[in-house]
């Protein structure tokens, strides 16, 4: 079986002044379809950079990245944009909803960019929002929603194109415990339905729930292990 994500010798260098910083220093990682993976590590360890590379938001300086068996580092900007649109859903710490658009319109954005007709967009967005318990919040703008509701809108937006992969960068970092647990619950539910889920977090409670945990230090994988059943379900 081909891995959904396969990274080989991925490096990402940043030039700061006349120094070169190795944010990613030779990452080898394979993620199978349907996996639930947590990436942890201290601040500045390169875990967000890794997520950006996997999400095609950032190009690695060196190395090979295959998504569904296709080398995506060779794609043009336009082609990468299309892959992001159809295959990858993003959930961010700060939600990143467009403030002037309603929940419904925010969820429709990826479909709008894909050129899907308005009628179909409206139906699909409504269905997804409905499923996430936001049916009565469809026409509210982000500033009229609670943090947890905003993140649920963002998840609706990430899933409306039915992607193979969801990348979540500190999805609970800006939420209270209760909303955070709710959001993680939704993401895990999506994972249970077959969507591959990669979460970047430094919340050990959340990391402990993932079936596989990759720990990064100084741009390199320090440990990569499946969940120890004895220590699971502590969150």
Which residues lie near other proteins (CB under 8 A)?
52, 55, 57-58, 77-78, 81-82, 84-86, 90, 92, 94, 96, 98-101, 109-110, 112-115, 117-118, 157, 161
Query: Could you tell me the smallest distance in angstroms from the CB atom of residue 121 to other proteins?
Result: 9
- Angle, nearest 10°, between helix axes 177-192 and 147-159? 20
User: d(Cα 206, Cα 218) in Å, to the nearest integer?
Assistant: 22
Query: Could you tell me the smallest distance in angstroms from the CB atom of residue 96 to other proteins?
Result: 5
Query: Could you tell me the smallest distance in angstroms from the CB atom of residue 172 to other proteins?
Result: 17
Closer CB to other proteins, 57 or 220, in the complex: 57
- Look up residue 79 and give its DSSP letter: H
- Look up residue 7 and give its DSSP letter: E
Closer CB to other proteins, 11 or 212, in the complex: 11
Closer CB to other proteins, 187 or 209, in the complex: 187
User: d(Cα 195, Cα 212) in Å, to the nearest integer?
Assistant: 15
What is the C-alpha R_g of the chain?
18
User: d(Cα 105, Cα 103) in Å, to the nearest integer?
Assistant: 6
Query: Could you tell me the smallest distance in angstroms from the CB atom of residue 108 to other proteins?
Result: 9
Non-local CB neighbours of 126 within 8 Å, separated by 6+ positions: 104, 135, 138
**CA 66 to chain centroid:** 17
Closer CB to other proteins, 23 or 210, in the complex: 23
Closer CB to other proteins, 80 or 196, in the complex: 80
Query: Could you tell me the smallest distance in angstroms from the CB atom of residue 68 to other proteins?
Result: 16
The structure tokens listed for 39 are: 């990436």
């Amino acid at each position: 079986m081909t891995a959904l994500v396969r990274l080989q010798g991925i490096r990402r260098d940043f030039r700061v002044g006349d120094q070169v910083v190795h944010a990613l220093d030779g990452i080898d990682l394979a993620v199978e379809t349907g996996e639930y993976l947590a990436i942890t590590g201290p601040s500045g360890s390169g875990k967000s950079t890794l997520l950006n590379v996997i999400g095609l938001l950032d190009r690695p300086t060196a190395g090979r990245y295959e998504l569904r068996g296709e080398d995506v580092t060779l794609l043009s900007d336009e082609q990468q944009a299309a892959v992001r649109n159809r295959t990858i859903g993003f959930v961010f710490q700060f939600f990143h909803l467009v403030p002037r658009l309603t929940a419904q319109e925010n969820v429709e954005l990826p479909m709008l960019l894909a050129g899907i007709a308005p009628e179909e967009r409206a139906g699909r967005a409504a269905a997804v929002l409905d499923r996430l318990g936001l049916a009565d919040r469809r026409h509210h703008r982000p500033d009229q929603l609670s943090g947890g509701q905003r993140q649920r809108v963002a998840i609706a937006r990430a899933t409306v194109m039915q992607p193979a992969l969801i990348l979540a960068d500190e999805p609970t970092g800006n939420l209270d415990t209760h909303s955070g647990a709710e959001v993680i619950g939704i993401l895990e539910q999506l994972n249970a339905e077959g969507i591959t889920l990669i979460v970047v977090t430094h919340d050990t409670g959340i990391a402990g729930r993932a079936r596989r945990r990759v720990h990064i230090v100084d741009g390199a994988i320090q440990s990569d292990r499946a969940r120890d059943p004895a220590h699971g379900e502590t969150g």
